[in-house]
Structure 1
Amino acid sequence: MTGTVTTTELARRTALEVLGGAPDDLTLRRFLHGLPGVDAVGLEQRSAGLGTRSIKTTSKAWALDTIIRLIDLTTLEGADTPGKVRSLVSKAKLPDASDPSCPSVAAVCVYGDMVPHAVEALGSRHGDPDDGGISVAAVATAFPSGRASLAVKLADTRDAVQAGADEIDMVIDRGAFLAGRYGQVFDQIVAVKDACRREDGTSASLKVILETGELNTYDNIKRASWLGILAGGDFIKTSTGKVSPAATLPVTLLMLEAVRDWHRLTGAKVGVKPAGGIRSSKDAVKYLVHVAETVGEEWLQPHLFRFGASSLLNDVLLQRQKLTTGHYSGPDYVTID
Structure 2
Amino acid sequence: MSSPAPTSPQPSPAPERGGAPAALSDVTASDSTLRRFLHGLPGVDAVGLEARAASLGTRSIKTTAKAYAIDLAISMVDLTTLEGADTPGKVRALGAKAVRPDPSDRTAPATAAVCVYPDMVATAKEAVAGSTVKVASVATAFPAGRAPLAVKLADVREAVAAGADEIDMVIDRGAFLAGNYRKVFDEITAVKEACGASARLKVIFETGELSTYDNIRRASWLGMLAGADFIKTSTGKVAVNATPANTLLMLEAVRDFRAQTGVQVGVKPAGGIRTTKDAIKFLVLVNETVGEDWLDNHWFRFGASSLLNDLLMQRQKLATGRYSGPDYVTVD
Question: What TM-score does the superposition give when structure 1 sets the normalisation length?
Answer: 0.90
Displacement of 1:328:
6.3
Work out whether residues 237 and 274 of structure 1, in 8 Å CA contact, stay in contact via their aligned partners in 2: yes
1:285 equivalent in alignment to 2:280:
yes
**Sequence identity percentage:** 69
Displacement of 1:266:
1.1
1:223 equivalent in alignment to 2:218:
yes
Q: Secondary structure at the match of 2:136?
A: strand
1:54 equivalent in alignment to 2:60:
yes
**Structure 1 counterpart of 2:67, which letter?**
A
Displacement of 1:19:
5.3
2:182 is matched with which residue? 183
Q: Which runs of 4+ in 1 moved over 4 A?
A: none
Q: Secondary structure at the match of 2:128?
A: helix
Gaps of 5+ in 2: 1-14, 325-332
Deviations 1:166-192, CA, capped at 9 Å, x for gaps: 000000000000000000000000000
Work out whether residues 23 and 186 of structure 1, in 8 Å CA contact, stay in contact via their aligned partners in 2: no
Q: Secondary structure at the match of 1:276?
A: coil
Which residue of the other structure, out of 237, 249, 256, is the alignment partner of 1:254? Answer: 249
Cα root mean square deviation, aligned:
1.5
1:334 is matched with which residue? none
User: 2: CA distance between counterparts of 1:231 and 1:145?
Assistant: 20
Gaps of 5+ in 1: 1-5, 126-132, 330-337
User: 2: CA distance between counterparts of 1:194 and 1:62?
Assistant: 37
**Structure 2 counterpart of 1:143, which letter?**
F
User: 1: CA distance between counterparts of 2:186 and 2:47?
Assistant: 33
2:83 is matched with which residue? 77
1:233-312 to 2 correspondences below 5 Å: 233-312=228-307
User: 2: CA distance between counterparts of 1:238 and 1:244?
Assistant: 13
Work out whether residues 239 and 276 of structure 1, in 8 Å CA contact, stay in contact via their aligned partners in 2: yes
Work out whether residues 279 and 311 of structure 1, in 8 Å CA contact, stay in contact via their aligned partners in 2: yes
User: 1: CA distance between counterparts of 2:283 and 2:86?
Assistant: 30
Displacement of 1:301:
0.7
User: 1: CA distance between counterparts of 2:28 and 2:73?
Assistant: 40
Deviations 1:30-53, CA, capped at 9 Å, x for gaps: 000000000000000000110011
Aligned residues: 311
Work out whether residues 21 and 261 of structure 2, in 8 Å CA contact, stay in contact via their aligned partners in 1: no
1:41-190 to 2 correspondences below 5 Å: 41-125=47-131, 133-190=132-189
Deviations 1:282-326, CA, capped at 9 Å, x for gaps: 010000000000000220111100000000000011100110002
2:6 is matched with which residue? none
User: 2: CA distance between counterparts of 1:298 and 1:35?
Assistant: 25
Displacement of 1:156:
0.3
1:335 is matched with which residue? none
**Structure 2 counterpart of 1:164, which letter?**
G
1:326 is matched with which residue? 321
Displacement of 1:20:
2.6
Displacement of 1:13:
4.6
Question: What TM-score does the superposition give when structure 2 sets the normalisation length?
Answer: 0.91
